Amino acid sequence: LEDLVTHLRAMPASSRASRKERKPGVSLEEATVRVMSSRSERIVSVELPSWRIKCGSVGLKEYYVRSPLRRLEGQCFLHLVENESLDVLRAAGQAVMRGEAVVPLFVDLRTFSREGMVCLNVIRCRVIPAHVSC
Which ranges of 1-134 would DSSP assign to H, the alpha helix?
2-10, 28-36, 58-61, 83-97
User: Residue 41 above 80 pLDDT?
Assistant: yes
pTM, full prediction:
0.70
Taking CA atoms, 94 is separated from 57, 98, 128, in Å, by 24, 6, 14
- Answer with the residue of higher pLDDT: 77 or 65: 77
Q: Which of 40-54, 66-80, 83-97 has the lowest mean pLDDT?
A: 66-80
Q: How large a percentage of the chain has pLDDT more than 90? A: 20
Other residues' Cβ atoms within 10 Å of the Cβ of residue 123: 14
The arithmetic mean of pLDDT across residues 46-72, rounded, is 86
Mean of per-residue pLDDT scores for the chain: 79
